[in-house]
A and B are shown apart, each in its own frame.
Chain A
């Protein structure tokens, strides 16, 4: 058996002998590999973006939704019509559970918010002082709600930065009055500028105490309850406790759905990962094209180097050895092309991230490894027959040349 070093050197010398051909093949592989990496990096970038969004509101959250989930698979809820509404009192009961830290009931609707002669129709959220905590919202000005305020109907509001700007401009908003629908509220806090959070533009929202929202929307039914846990490890137990608790409060009927932040994140992860793989496979077709190129060139090479093949056999190379030599040649070529492709892919992603900071691309490791393996397999697969042809040449005839 030829030593691996020698085989590599032998291959490299052949490549150096035909520089044009080598360049084309190496580039074909490099482009194939880098396009797979680039496309999967977009998918992975999207996944990481979504994860970041989820994590920005905490990964230790449970979301309690009214209605029993009807679908068996998947983690995104599709629930039937609510048989019994979920109320603020339910939320208060949940807060008594040992592993529950904060509970933010959410009663939401849209309402016309106005100050002076400026007005805006925005989503208005009724909740408690816990809301800012569980959604990780930070105040730029003023204060949040007092705990005791939950019990009384107080007409206080916290507004998002965009809403503040459109109603008050650069003037001071805290302490000012505004109207939500036909009620007057005093602005007690303004949220810090923050981008979208899971599709909700927190900058363009008003938050009022839950009790006040109940009378404003004339409904005690909650849109959902956000629960944050003390110990994430006891998530399952707590989930069951909440279900039991609400069941008990709702006359023995199990009519809620609990979605954990993790489950939702997993669902999104699954979707984006499947999409990423699909994109990668499609991009992988360019590798097949490179494979066909390699096959053609290998056939030509076998014909051109007949005399050499004959000689190698005459001086003691077995058929297998000859086949291995040709396979090795395309593998070396592919490995060089693939390394170049990976470098190119990472360089492009790096450049893109430098210029487009708000959506960062990321090449997943599995994609890099799979692409490398697939590239080598393709090159071996497509060189198999040319190499077989070389190895089956009759040395006497082959040495006569063409």
Chain B
């Protein structure tokens, strides 16, 4: 057996709400292999986004280990976590999170800009991704001049621009009509077929069931972890 790409071991996260502690992630253990396609479903407030943010190094666990590609990220300084995030992880959000004053091209190239990569290389890489995503005519548009589906494609291009190993999508279709939603999922799936590890949080059962591996969360725990064709596998 090969080593998992992502390894969560006894991850706990607790928020203090008023004087009540709220256990948002409860002793999570999870292994994710390179190239997997995983959906995360569950009721609102069950901790799906928190789990995704944890894997994306946007959040720190109170306790437990999170190892990504052999890097013990829980032990890293903020500066190094930012670097791991920049090089290994692509994020896609429900509300796109594009910067309104920047063009589609500039938005998509932001992670490369942060990494100090030359503008020529950035333009080339973004043009490549845009044509792959079918938005090559939209390079110089501002976000307000684009449709929801196009905005999410720009966001996908931004997530992919550094060629990360892991793509994290938190309700990527939440703000889209069904048609564009399915289109976006098609794009994500095709990226997965090319090898990227894909985690999608969704409320849409139909979408969730397209994933090869489906996680269900309840009250900060992974209640179900089933892989297509292998049947159910009760999570610990």
Interface residues of A (CB under 8 A from B): 1-3, 5-6, 10, 13-14, 16-17, 307-308, 310-321, 395-396, 399
Known A5-B119, A311-B97, A311-B99; 8 more pairs at CB < 8 Å: A2-B116, A14-B101, A307-B97, A312-B114, A314-B91, A316-B82, A318-B78, A321-B82
Set of chain B residues within 8 Å of A317, measured between Cβ atoms? 82, 86, 114
Q: Pick the contact of A3: B78, B82, B93, B116 (CB < 8 A).
A: B116
**21 A-B interface contacts by CB (under 8 A):** A2-B114, A2-B116, A5-B119, A6-B119, A14-B101, A16-B101, A307-B97, A311-B99, A313-B58, A314-B97, A315-B86, A315-B91, A315-B114, A316-B82, A317-B86, A318-B82, A320-B79, A321-B114, A395-B58, A396-B49, A399-B93
A308 and B99 within 8 A (CB): yes
A316 and B115 within 8 A (CB): yes
B113 and A399 within 8 A (CB): no
B53 and A315 within 8 A (CB): no
A13 and B115 within 8 A (CB): no
Indicate the member of A6, A310, A319, A320 with the most B CB atoms within 10 Å: A6
Set of chain B residues within 8 Å of A10, measured between Cβ atoms? 113
1/0 per position for B48-86, CB-CB distance to A under 8 A? 010001001011000000000000000000110011011
B59 and A396 within 8 A (CB): yes
For the complex, is B125 an interface residue (Cβ under 8 Å from A)?
A: no
CA–CA, A400 and B162, complex, Å: 24
Interface residues of B (CB under 8 A from A): 49, 53, 56, 58-59, 78-79, 82-83, 85-87, 91, 93, 97, 99, 101-102, 110-111, 113-116, 118-119, 158, 162
How far apart are A321's CB and chain B's nearest CB, in angstroms?
7
B83 and A316 within 8 A (CB): yes
Instruction: Please give me the residue from chain B that is nearest to A4 by CB atom.
Output: B116
How far apart are B141's CB and chain A's nearest CB, in angstroms?
15
How far apart are A113's CB and chain B's nearest CB, in angstroms?
81
Set of chain A residues within 8 Å of B85, measured between Cβ atoms? 314-316
A17 and B101 within 8 A (CB): yes
B87 and A316 within 8 A (CB): yes
Instruction: Please give me the residue from chain A that is nearest to B161 by CB atom.
Output: A315
Q: Pick the contact of B111: A310, A315, A320, A396 (CB < 8 A).
A: A315
How far apart are B165's CB and chain A's nearest CB, in angstroms?
14
Set of chain A residues within 8 Å of B116, measured between Cβ atoms? 1-3, 6
How far apart are A155's CB and chain B's nearest CB, in angstroms?
90
CA–CA, A307 and B119, complex, Å: 25
A2 and B58 within 8 A (CB): no
CA–CA, A308 and B78, complex, Å: 19
Instruction: Please give me the residue from chain B that is nearest to A401 by CB atom.
Output: B95
Known A1-B116, A312-B114: A399·B97 in contact at CB below 8 Å: yes
Q: Pick the contact of A396: B53, B79, B86, B118 (CB < 8 A).
A: B53
B101 and A318 within 8 A (CB): no
B79 and A318 within 8 A (CB): yes
B82 and A313 within 8 A (CB): yes
